Structure 1
């Protein structure tokens, strides 16, 4: 059973201290990796702007986040390749970007393929790692990092691509500040009454979370929320398109607001809709959001909105995603897991 008293209980929070410290250090990891790779990124500035690659192929754990940021704006075709290796058409005219996963076989195969084919390679990895050794070549630019944090290495890769004229401006400090702000707002030292993550965790504790984000980055953040909540609660959590979620909402059993949860417990777990808002004011997003919330209200399904409105697109994504990680952590604490 979920006990919201655990969310403000010193002993329960102490048992989760290691995980909370990991979340609180998210901004610091972005700063550490951005600083470590700063000199190598500066050396790229101005290089290759007149000789753009035929395409950019990304591999490693940050590849899909790179695609979410770059696909709409990259001046050349961009592919996030899940591996193994690289696409058969990749050659010396294509830029390969691999974000570090030193123990990942897929990343190692991508690096090996890039070196074998003579592809220009941007490798974001620890300087002394086996991945860096595999990638050593005259065509490789190593961006040294040390934290292994997926978001931090992705920020470094985006800064490198910006230096090559292939990505929009990226501000690592802004991303780090946003993560720090979320860590303060969602800190275990803030009680339930003033802690947004604890409040959302309490609402989701006895429900099936349905997550929706209207933009590419917000939708990706919704998937990260769902993954974290599934791990924390051991129960289903779904992130999907608005039409799919609306169909689920319309088919759900209406909730009786007068029912006593102890005398007459519900026959099944009720859904709870969370809309993730990254501040993009697009007509399609407004329409889908309105339709989804209307479907929830018609079915008597509770719903909430979590917003990140400050900073650039990547900073807003980072803020939404870290908030979801705190929510998942508090769900786990409340369940005593």
Structure 2
């Protein structure tokens, strides 16, 4: 059950948020600024690249991999960006420590490997860096100082880049299950900031001189927009959290940037709210998910089943579609991502999706980021999903 009253009670939200997830998200802008400053101090500004790499491989657990996917979306077709997921897991006391990675067979001296970890203790990432060094790859490492991975970076002549931890104190209490590792909800930006700074330096992404500084300012603005003491009618993240209650969301995306935001949203819903979500990119999602519109979750699946016990059984879960898009428009910088009742320029896939949902009485809500800059649009969509997932988890009791 969702406690709607908790969403409009800042004090109750603070009590429920025992691991300070909202504070961690609110500090994203500060972490970006610190990461940029430390990356400059580490020598990034003095880097003189000899041309653009053939490919950039990004390896790491959790949000590090999502940061690699975001870089791939922002880079477009100019350079191959290859997020490298774990290939296997070795026996270990901690599941994350036992993860292992494998370079693709084609990786070599023309390529750059970026290894990222908030813990810096994964043996698999250390072995991956050693393997890349043996093949002649250029290497960069994003991890805190003094960790085994940072020490290994020195051995393979990697460029050290900072991982800025959250300023929020680690929650005290019993340790998490070793096979269910937890992650700082703000880690995504701590990975992405130095990764983008490096990518811009080697001409993998085209960013203006002030783009990353502006990103930090925007993240501050978004934290204010989604703050706990903003009422649900003014806070888009709280409104979205309430809308998600009692539903199974299909997170559909139109475009590469929106697809990254949808994957991130699904991961946050699972991690922070314990809720399943299904992602899909248009137009493929129209084929892959069509059976859900006529199944038990759809509005036409007889919710008034005569034999259902209305006293003992809760209301059945229903299907809804959240469509994430980037529709660049010249709008004032303060404009909010909005639910668009009459969207702007549509692709044929979007029109088909809207028609399919309407034909089966499935609610479809579009969330569009209108900022022209792709990085700013990504920040808007990710921040909305991050805060909504945390609010949903707190209101539903998973944070209690």
Task: Using the TM superposition, give the Cα deviation of residue 238 of structure 1 relative to its aligned residue in structure 2, in angstroms.
Answer: 1.3
Report matched runs for 1:105-124 at 5 Å. Answer: 105-124=123-142
TM-score (norm: length of structure 2): 0.74
Report matched runs for 1:8-87 at 5 Å. Answer: 8-17=8-17, 18-39=20-41, 40-44=43-47, 46-49=48-51, 52-61=52-61, 62-70=64-72, 73=76, 75-83=78-86, 84-87=101-104
Distance 1:257 1:57, change over 3 A: closer
Structure 1 residue 98 and structure 2 residue 112: aligned? no
Structure 1 residues 44-101: Cα deviation after superposition (integer angstroms, max 9, x where no partner): 1x4313xx43433221243453344336635444322224132233333322222234
Structure 1, gaps ≥5 residues long: none
Match of 1:5? 5
TM-score (norm: length of structure 1): 0.86
In 2: Cα distance, 1:78 partner to 1:192 partner: 39
In 1: Cα distance, 2:206 partner to 2:348 partner: 28
Match of 1:273? 321
Residue 208 of structure 1 aligns to a residue whose secondary structure is strand
In 2: Cα distance, 1:94 partner to 1:218 partner: 27
Aligned residue pairs total 331
The structure whose residues are more often helix, as a share, is: 1
Residue 228 of structure 2 aligns to a residue whose secondary structure is coil
Residue 136 of structure 1 aligns to a residue whose secondary structure is helix
Distance 1:144 1:223, change over 3 A: closer
Structure 1 residue 193 and structure 2 residue 233: aligned? yes
Residue 98 of structure 1 aligns to a residue whose secondary structure is strand
Task: Using the TM superposition, give the Cα deviation of residue 36 of structure 1 relative to its aligned residue in structure 2, in angstroms.
Answer: 0.8
Structure 1 residues 260-297: Cα deviation after superposition (integer angstroms, max 9, x where no partner): xx97988631112111122259x996222221122111
Structure 1 residue 249 and structure 2 residue 293: aligned? yes
- Deviates most, 168-177 or 198-207: 168-177
In 1: Cα distance, 2:137 partner to 2:272 partner: 41
Distance 1:82 1:153, change over 3 A: same
Residue 154 of structure 2 aligns to a residue whose secondary structure is coil
Structure 1 residue 301 and structure 2 residue 362: aligned? yes
Distance 1:267 1:143, change over 3 A: closer
Task: Using the TM superposition, give the Cα deviation of residue 254 of structure 1 relative to its aligned residue in structure 2, in angstroms.
Answer: 2.6
Structure 1 residues 297-319: Cα deviation after superposition (integer angstroms, max 9, x where no partner): 11112222223222521222122
In 1: Cα distance, 2:135 partner to 2:347 partner: 46
Report matched runs for 1:106-255 at 5 Å. Answer: 106-137=124-155, 139-147=157-165, 149-169=187-207, 171-241=211-281, 242-243=285-286, 244-251=288-295, 252-254=298-300
In 2: Cα distance, 1:34 partner to 1:147 partner: 13
* Maintained 8 Å contact 1:215/1:280: no
Task: Using the TM superposition, give the Cα deviation of residue 184 of structure 1 relative to its aligned residue in structure 2, in angstroms.
Answer: 0.9
Distance 1:256 1:194, change over 3 A: farther
